[in-house]
């Protein structure tokens, strides 16, 4: 025991001696004083190049987009009688109520109204919307289906009609938020259409052109403008006064949100071409189409078949007039009034349905499913759009024509071109672009 303790003490003494010796003799353990003539280190940033930080920029506000929540459809009360109120709020555009010129309709809701949607049964002319926040002018575009966002949301809104009687079919009000799909927020297109479609009647653009409109409007995102050559609103057929609404509903389903234009002539029964000439003459259609071509300045014009599909006289007149109008629109001497208003326009490409004069057909495919169409095909959407033409479902021989049918809606021919013949034969927009043919 004593021996062990002695060894430990001796070992500790030896260790202490080693440490003391190292402190006294090892230079690495000593920090020497700096020599007196050592210059100070240079500054890393010379004073002449000192950068003064700029002033803090003003905060850029984060852009506010559309609301990411659904608008609420608001229950409304009015100061109208019970019959008028029933027709306004029955959600049925086949029922209507006629309001005398100058009528003021007061709408009241428990929550603030952010937008209203009116389905007119007759073209309303200009009308105004009045709230505590001021007055808004509406109706300048002549839309039958018009959605108006209030400048100042209010629980009470007054609709002040113009100096003519106005027929209203339905009226809706909504709180702030994104609107339901049935609300049509139409736009006007004044120039630079990619495709201009001439359709004789409401629904011909679906029966004979098939999925063309949903494909190019929704899937391709192009600017498609539809022009109708006759007005069923002016017809005296039993249920045809509803057809303009059905046409709007059909185009909306297709994803085409540019408001269509309708020629201001009645729809007559025309079993043959000369009957159509008797009713419309040979110049009215061509003059109107020339104006539309000059106004919209399309890259491509599309219309129906030369034989009127099944020999319909107004169809034949539409096509023959288009063949004349695409030439006339480029000539300032033809129909000079619209040339003065819009200038002239030489359409790069013109297609006719089922036209074989160019040799090989151009076949459009409407069978691909697209996210833009809810994973439906353009052909399926065209079929759904045609079902919006409720008054026409009684005609069992009419439907969107598919492959193998004599009126197959996939098949077109290049009637006139400024850019040479088609090569791929599967796209109306081949060889044309707005860069090549700008709108001045």
Domain co-membership, 365 together with 252: yes
| 386-414 exposure pattern, b = at least 16 Cβ within 10 A, e = fewer | bbbbebbeeeeebbbbeeeeebbbbbbbb
Domain co-membership, 339 together with 288: yes
This prediction has a pTM of: 0.83
Domain co-membership, 201 together with 124: no
Domain co-membership, 252 together with 368: yes
Q: Is residue 28 part of a domain?
A: no
Pairing of strands 349-353, 261-262: unpaired
- CA 10, distance to chain mean position in Å, is 98
pLDDT score of 92: 87
pLDDT score of 186: 98
Three-class SS state of 166: strand
The range of the structural domain enclosing residue 100 comes to 77-174
Asked whether the CA dihedral 77, 81, 85, 88 is positive or negative, the reply is negative
Asked whether the CA dihedral 412, 225, 295, 246 is positive or negative, the reply is positive
DSSP class of 365: -
Please give the backbone phi and psi of residue 145, each rounded to the nearest 5 degrees, phi first: -115, 110
Q: Is residue 163 part of a domain?
A: yes
Asked whether the CA dihedral 202, 205, 211, 213 is positive or negative, the reply is negative
Q: How far is Cα 16 from Cα 205, in angstroms, rounded to an integer?
A: 106
User: Among 266, 209, 259, 202, which residue's Cα sits nearest to residue 228?
Assistant: 202
Q: Is residue 384 part of a domain?
A: yes
Pairing of strands 134-138, 127-131: antiparallel
Domain co-membership, 254 together with 400: yes
Q: How far is Cα 408 from Cα 414, in angstroms, rounded to an integer?
A: 16
**Token output for 182:** 């049935």
Which residue's entry shows tokens 């938020």? Answer: 177
pLDDT score of 234: 63
Phi-psi region of 207 (alpha: psi -120 to 50; beta: other; left: phi over 0): alpha
Count of CA atoms in the C-beta half-sphere (13 A) of 420: 4
Pairing of strands 224-228, 261-262: parallel
Q: Exposed, middle or buried by CB within 10 Å (0-12, 13-18, 19+), for 235?
A: middle
Q: Is residue 332 part of a domain?
A: yes
pLDDT score of 89: 93
Q: Is residue 7 part of a domain?
A: no
pLDDT score of 260: 98
pLDDT score of 224: 98
Pairing of strands 145-160, 104-120: antiparallel
Domain co-membership, 168 together with 237: no
Interval 38-79: pLDDT, tens? 444 443 433 334 334 445 445 445 445 556 799 999 999 999
pLDDT score of 13: 54
Domain co-membership, 217 together with 103: no
Q: Is residue 40 part of a domain?
A: no
pLDDT score of 10: 56
Domain co-membership, 228 together with 356: yes
Q: How far is Cα 260 from Cα 33, in angstroms, rounded to an integer?
A: 93
What's the structural domain count of the chain?
A: 2
Q: Is residue 49 part of a domain?
A: no
Q: Is residue 2 part of a domain?
A: no
The CATH number of residue 140's host domain is 2.60.120.260
Three-class SS state of 339: helix
Domain co-membership, 336 together with 395: yes
Domain co-membership, 203 together with 269: yes
Domain co-membership, 116 together with 224: no
Please give the backbone phi and psi of residue 23, each rounded to the nearest 5 degrees, phi first: -65, -35
Domain co-membership, 81 together with 134: yes
What residue ranges of the chain have pLDDT lower than 70?
1-67, 234-240, 358-359
């Amino acid at each position: 025991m004593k021996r062990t303790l002695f060894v430990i003490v001796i070992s500790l003494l030896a260790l202490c001696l080693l440490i003391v010796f190292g402190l006294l003799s090892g230079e690495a353990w000593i920090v020497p004083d700096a020599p007196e003539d050592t210059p100070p280190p240079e500054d890393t940033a010379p004073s002449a190049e000192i950068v003064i930080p700029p002033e803090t920029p003003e905060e850029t506000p984060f852009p506010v987009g559309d609301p990411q929540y659904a608008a609420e459809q608001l229950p409304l009360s009015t100061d109208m009688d019970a019959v008028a109120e029933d027709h306004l709020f029955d959600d049925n555009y086949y029922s209507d109520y006629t309001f005398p010129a100058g009528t003021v309709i007061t709408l009241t809701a428990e929550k603030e109204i952010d937008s209203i949607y009116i389905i007119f049964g007759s073209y309303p002319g200009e009308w105004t919307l009045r709230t505590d926040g001021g007055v808004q002018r509406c109706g300048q575009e002549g839309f039958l289906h018009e959605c108006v966002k209030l400048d100042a949301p209010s629980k009470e809104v007054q609709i002040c009609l113009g100096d003519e009687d106005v027929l209203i079919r339905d009226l809706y009000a909504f709180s702030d938020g994104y609107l339901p799909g049935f609300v049509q927020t139409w736009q006007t297109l004044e120039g630079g259409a990619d495709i201009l479609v001439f359709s004789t009647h409401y629904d011909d653009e679906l029966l004979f052109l098939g999925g063309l409109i949903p494909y190019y409007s929704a899937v391709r995102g192009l600017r498609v403008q539809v022009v109708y050559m006759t007005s069923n609103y002016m017809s005296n057929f039993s249920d045809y006064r509803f057809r303009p609404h059905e046409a709007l509903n059909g185009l909306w389903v297709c994803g085409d949100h540019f408001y269509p234009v309708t020629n201001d002539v009645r729809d007559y029964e025309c079993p043959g071409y000369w009957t159509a000439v008797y009713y419309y003459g040979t110049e009215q259609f061509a003059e109107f189409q020339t104006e539309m071509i000059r106004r919209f300045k399309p890259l491509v014009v599309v219309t129906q078949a030369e034989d009127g599909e099944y020999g319909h006289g107004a169809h034949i007149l539409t096509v023959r007039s288009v063949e004349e109008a695409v030439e006339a629109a480029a000539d300032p001497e033809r129909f000079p009034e619209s040339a003065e208003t819009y200038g002239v326009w030489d359409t790069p490409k013109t297609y006719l349905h089922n036209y074989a004069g160019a040799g090989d057909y151009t076949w459009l495919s409407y069978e691909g499913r697209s996210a833009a169409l809810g994973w439906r095909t353009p052909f399926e959407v065209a079929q759904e759009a045609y079902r919006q033409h409720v008054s026409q479902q009684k005609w069992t021989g009419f439907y969107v024509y598919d492959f193998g049918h004599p009126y197959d809606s996939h098949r077109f021919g290049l009637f006139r071109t400024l850019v040479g013949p088609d090569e791929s034969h599967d796209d109306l927009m081949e060889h044309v672009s707005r860069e090549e043919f700008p709108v001045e």
